[in-house]
Structure 1
Amino acid sequence: MLTSEQIERFHADGYLAVDRLLDYELDIKPVIDEYQRLLDDLCEQWVAEGRLVEPYSDLPFEKRLVEVYRAGCDYYQAFDIALPNGNIRADTPIHCGPAVFDLLRSPRLLSAVESLIGGEIYSNPIQHVRIKPPARVIEKEDVDNALVGATRWHQDNGVALPEADETKMLTCWVAVSEATPENGCLQVAPKSHRKGIALHCTISNQLGIPDALIEQEQARPVPLKPGGVLFFHPMCKHGSLENQSDAFRWSFDLRYNPIGQATGRPHFPGFVAQSRLDPESTLD
């Protein structure tokens, strides 16, 4: 559970960073191991399809991803835990592995979520993994892909459907690798959740807030250690910095809302992550 001081800070500022909230061995490492196995399988598939000349099995995870990316293999959708908003086909990949499922239901995470939205917790289907390469290796056509490049300023209520305008949605941004200003950590605008919804429009393939409407001097980068979590309000303005480092930056953005409230993405399924009133309704 969060402390009363942390809860007050969240409501005052619209966000709260809690470093090392999750246990690395119990919550984070199983996810890393699962994605390494997934990459093994994908490389074998891409070699069989003639898209890769070799599986690069001797390379460490990040260097292997660079080779996969340079070969034109779309690892980021195959790694993602949600389907894209459009152009979904029968063979569109999505990752729904047990380690990610366990992360979504982590007692340490849900305890903090309960402190902010109550004990009836629904896993909202608007969620992603973002394993972002160094900006120097990103192809021009992917610069504005939010799963690969920097994410533009936006509010979650500005990109969800209007049905979720009154939903008490909570975003939990989970650091798998260390997140720093250099490698593209999230940045927030403190207290912006009090100012209402801003204009959102499509800018270079991303739905976001025009730069002219952002007071850049108020932007606050939020660095986190692995296992750290940034919680923020659906009206909090936020975006990510560009990855100027030589390494990948890995995070999940997970969302939860009280059971029974609209998710803002009704065409995708969610599930009951925790229920104090009806424990048997929880998905195990």
Structure 2
Amino acid sequence: MAGRLMALQVEVHGADSLQCQTSQRLSSGGYAVSRADVALFHEQGFVHLPGVLSQEELQQVIEPVYTMFMRNEIPIPGKDLCDMSGAKGRTPDQYTVYNVMLPRKYYPEWQGNLFERRCQQIADQLQGGDMAVDYDQILAKRPHSEDAIFAWHQDMAYWPPHTKETATATCWLAVSAATLENGCMRYVPGSHKEKELRKHEPVGKTREESHALKTILRGGDAVKAWPCKAGDVIVHNERVIHSSGPNLSDGWRRAYVLAFRKRSTVAEERDMGFSHSHNDTVNWDKFHKHGVA
């Protein structure tokens, strides 16, 4: 593991990073993002916000529903339950990157929960308001799984590129502590400032075979791994390059993703027939403009 990280020239930032100490939960139930963290989000393409959920809130709001999805107790149609490692021929009890798309759709009782309301405030503070939920996603990495890797990518490579606005605040919640060993998030800070998206290609042979995409790092890319505590959130934008490594630990690495975009953008996507469901029938030619194969 250490050798793999060294080869990527990874710099590690701890969960107690000083840059985030002034962003905090409020007694009113909301969450205040400091001016410094707003600036940092726009400078590096992501920001780590500590303690967005307390341990009690995590156990009450997230854990019960998350567990039902992990136990396959809530029906998920078609490709919205899949293995994002890119492996084929596995059953859900074998998936190493257990992915549920749109859990809010399949369990509507989860909509409007405390975490969602808090992230709405965060997204509005980071992106200037008028943000709306675009999609959500459960991502859990099986223990002792070398291939539980989410490949390097930019989120915009997955989405229609022709919307008038692209501003995004993707809130990545650590449902369990994210560490170097179990596959915490990794970023290339500042990569969102490049004029063009990098070329992406499917992890499998085609987009139909594997929904996951990958891009290649360049020699000058400085990778930063970002461990964080359960209840912490990392928010990233639509263009920053990111990934996560394998889970070599004894326990699941569990995360929940809730992404916000401008209300007008969400409406444009839906008008195109794009809902972020893997069951969408999409003409992937519209992505070729950005070199996505």
TM-score range, shorter chain: 0.5 to 0.7
Gaps of 5+ in 2: 1-31, 76-89, 205-209, 277-293
What is the aligned partner in structure 1 of residue 201 from structure 2?
Answer: 201
Task: Name the larger-Rg structure.
Answer: 1
Which moved further from structure 2: 201-210 or 173-182?
201-210
What is the aligned partner in structure 2 of residue 118 from structure 1?
Answer: 128
What is the aligned partner in structure 2 of residue 6 from structure 1?
Answer: 37
What is the aligned partner in structure 2 of residue 179 from structure 1?
Answer: 178
Which amino acid is 2:113 matched to? D
2:100 corresponds, among 68, 77, 80, to 80
Q: Distance in 1 between matches of 2:194 and 2:71?
A: 46
Cα distance, 1:103–1:132 mapped onto 2, change above 3 Å: farther
Residue 9 of structure 1, CA deviation? 1.0
Q: Is this contact kept in 1: 2:165–2:262, CA < 8 A?
A: no
Question: TM-score with structure 1 length normalisation?
Answer: 0.67
Q: Is this contact kept in 2: 1:155–1:234, CA < 8 A?
A: yes
Aligned length: 221
What is the aligned partner in structure 1 of residue 65 from structure 2?
Answer: 34
Identity of aligned residues (%): 24
Q: Is this contact kept in 2: 1:31–1:100, CA < 8 A?
A: no
**Any runs of at least 4 consecutive aligned residues in structure 1 with deviations exceeding 6 A, and if so which?**
75-79
What is the aligned partner in structure 1 of residue 159 from structure 2?
Answer: 160
Gaps of 5+ in 1: 46-70, 84-93, 144-148, 271-284
SS in 1 for 2:64: helix
What is the aligned partner in structure 2 of residue 235 from structure 1?
Answer: 239
Which moved further from structure 2: 161-170 or 7-16?
161-170
Q: Distance in 1 between matches of 2:113 and 2:101?
A: 13
Structure with more strand by fraction: 2
Q: Is this contact kept in 1: 2:61–2:115, CA < 8 A?
A: no
**Counterparts of residues 1-284 of structure 1 (less than 5 Å):** 1-37=32-68, 42=73, 72-73=91-92, 80-82=100-102, 95-99=106-110, 101-102=112-113, 105-106=116-117, 108-125=118-135, 127-136=136-145, 143=147, 149-164=148-163, 166-196=165-195, 197-204=197-204, 205=210, 206-210=212-216, 213-215=217-219, 218-262=222-266, 264=269, 266-267=272-273, 269=275
SS in 2 for 1:257: strand
CA RMSD in angstroms comes to 3.2
